[in-house]
Amino acid sequence: MGRFHQANIAHCNRTIVIHDERADDSVGRVILGRYRVVLPLGRGGQGAVDLARGEGAEGFARPVVVKRILAPLARDPLMLEQFAREARITAQLDHPAIVPVHSLEQ
């Protein structure tokens, strides 16, 4: 099953869509090879949101927010489709109060 990842890039108002089976205690974990989880921000019935740091070459770092589906729901094809659909719809919206989707990765 594919993995979707969503990260809201705080200073650029960009979003990357994320599905991860391990949406639990993950401080310090690196996601997609470049986002390091810094602090859990919230957790609900369907997912978790973490503050993370986008890391790159030469010490490049940028704050991001990562949204992930909780493990029990990550195996549900319907839930994965709803998560991806949310990202596709959000990507079409353009409003100062809505963080746009930057990319959808599997």
- The three-class DSSP label of residue 59 is helix
Between CA 31 and CA 48 the distance in angstroms is 14
Between CA 25 and CA 8 the distance in angstroms is 19
Residue listed under structure tokens 């010490």:
59
Stated pTM of the model: 0.64
Residues 48-81 pLDDT 10s? 888 888 888 888 888 887 777 888 888 899 998 9
pLDDT at 13 over 50: no
